[in-house]
Amino acid sequence: MSTLSEPLAPEGLDAWRRLPVKQQPEWPDADALADVTADLAAQPPLVFAGEADTLRERLAAASRGEAFLLQGGDCAETFSELSADNIRDKIKTILQMAVVLTYGASMPIIKMGRMAGQYAKPRSSGTETRDGVSLPAYRGDIINGFEFSPSSRTPDPRRLLEAYRNSASTLNLIRAFTSGGFADLRLVHEWNRGFLRNPAYAQYEAFAAEIDRAIRFMHAAGADFDGLRTVEFFSSHEGLLLDYERPLTRVDSRTGDAYDCSAHFLWIGERTRELDGAHVDFFSRVRNPIGVKLGPTATGQDAIGLMDSLNPDGEAGRLTFITRMGAPKVRELLPDLIEAVRADGRPVTWVCDPMHGNGFTSSNGYKTRRFSDVIEEVRGFFDVHRELGTVPGGLHVELTGDDVTEVLGGAEHIDDHSLGRRYQTLVDPRLNHQQSLEMAFLVADMLRVS
């Protein structure tokens, strides 16, 4: 196995420090930050280079239509919600969705959590004002606290170490759950049967019955179910806070290449993807597979510029574009981007984030989304790719394994009034467990005809 060490860092890993950088906190104490980043640089990596390489191959398969990515988890993980139950329920939700999608797509599903490091959030404003008092905006638990007080909102670099430790324990449990029998195909299918006992989901019963028959067929044909007790599961988060990503970047002794060992996959957000900015520069220098969010203002030229920086040689699986246009715009805006990329010829993996273009505030003041808009954006994404003959490669969703009430609609008809019952997110609204499974059945059907 390769070792990952820091000393011979390739030139340029710190070039970002001289470039314009967005969405970083103002640390009040530079010495305290330096102590923490030195400490982080001495900690063991959370993932290995070889795992990131495997994921790159899986995403290359997704770019060719031979696999499909399911990436899901909280908008923002929080330190206080770190618990075994919470991690288990999120993994369970993703595994349940993956079984349904595997059947619909007749393809391997690449399972990836927005987990074990999704602690830093971009914000539209650097400050928040309440009753005439202005404080730094909440930027995620890795930077400051959500509570609206001067001490909690002051960026505290010790939080980077806490985020690292929490990510390590989350990843440890993820690895245990996904290799210890919890992912057994038959068990996961049984959970789905339990979900469908609710009459609200009767319309998906026929689909589940087909999966049932397929599993019985596999059994009869002598399939090795024990071999299906273990699944690959990858970690990912937005590569936003460079004072965290840089110290966790290590050099692979096999090749001399740098890997950001905070997660298998990092994505650059819609607000930090400028071509001459720090984020694009930094992530251009690590070997992990990298994603970039593309919103409604993204142009074909932006896409080509990102390919030039992040994947100049056109390596399949290296670059994923995660589009988040909004349901009403996806059919109008996505074709130009796809055409530009297709004309260029270098491969990308196209993934749909149907969450971030569909937010609005409910009549009673909750930041929410409509389940129907989310599904409509996915449908538009599939239709556009199908019309152009390109490959829809995956789905990026904000979800939780809990029974929260944050997204409107779904078969249980969450309305404005019921949002208040269990609205728990600190940032963006997430699909609850049931809505996530319902989405899987709907998307599986879209995958089936493709």
CB closer to ligand PEP, 246 vs 324: 324
Distance of closest approach, residue 280 Cβ to ligand PEP, in angstroms: 14
Site for Co ion in 350-389 (CB under 5 A): none
CB closer to Co ion, 36 vs 75: 75
Distance of closest approach, residue 17 Cβ to Co ion, in angstroms: 27
Taking the alpha carbons at both ends of the chain, their separation in whole angstroms is 40
Q: Where do contacts with ligand PEP occur on this chain (CB under 6 A)?
A: 75, 122, 238, 269-271, 293, 324, 356, 428
If you write DSSP's letter for every residue of 392-441 in order, what string do you get? Answer: EEEEEEEB-SS----SBBTTTTB-HHHHTTT---SSS--B-HHHHHHHHH
Query: For the window 72-91, what string marks contact with Co ion as x by the rule CB under 5 A?
Result: ---x----------------
CB closer to ligand PEP, 76 vs 211: 76
CB closer to ligand PEP, 25 vs 269: 269
Q: Cα 35 to chain center, whole Å?
A: 30
Distance of closest approach, residue 238 Cβ to ligand PEP, in angstroms: 6
Count of residues interacting with Co ion (CB under 5 A): 2
Q: CA angle, corner 66, sides to 65 and 70, nearest 5?
A: 80
CB closer to ligand PEP, 250 vs 396: 396
d(CA 357, CA 355): 6
Site for Co ion in 417-446 (CB under 5 A): 428
Distance of closest approach, residue 268 Cβ to ligand PEP, in angstroms: 8
Does position 67 bind Co ion by CB under 5 A? no
Going by C-alpha positions, the residue among 235, 242, 238 that lies closest to residue 428 is 238
Determine the 3-state secondary structure of 142 from DSSP: coil
Query: Which option in Co ion, ligand PEP, none does residue 122 bind, with CB closer than 5 to 8 A by kind?
Result: ligand PEP
DSSP E strands in 216-348: the ranges are 233-238, 249-252, 258-260, 265-268, 290-294, 319-323
In the block, tokens 């690590």 appear at 286
Distance of closest approach, residue 296 Cβ to Co ion, in angstroms: 16
Distance of closest approach, residue 78 Cβ to Co ion, in angstroms: 13
DSSP E strands in 181-242: the ranges are 233-238
CB closer to ligand PEP, 102 vs 425: 425
Distance of closest approach, residue 72 Cβ to ligand PEP, in angstroms: 11
Closest-by-Cβ residue to ligand PEP is 269
d(CA 231, CA 215): 17
Query: Which option in Co ion, ligand PEP, none does residue 324 bind, with CB closer than 5 to 8 A by kind?
Result: ligand PEP
Q: Which residues pair with 395 in a beta bridge?
A: 70, 352
Please answer whether residues 67 and 189 qualify as being in contact, where contact means their C-beta atoms are separated by less than 8 angstroms: no
Contacts with Co ion by CB under 5 A lie at: 75, 428
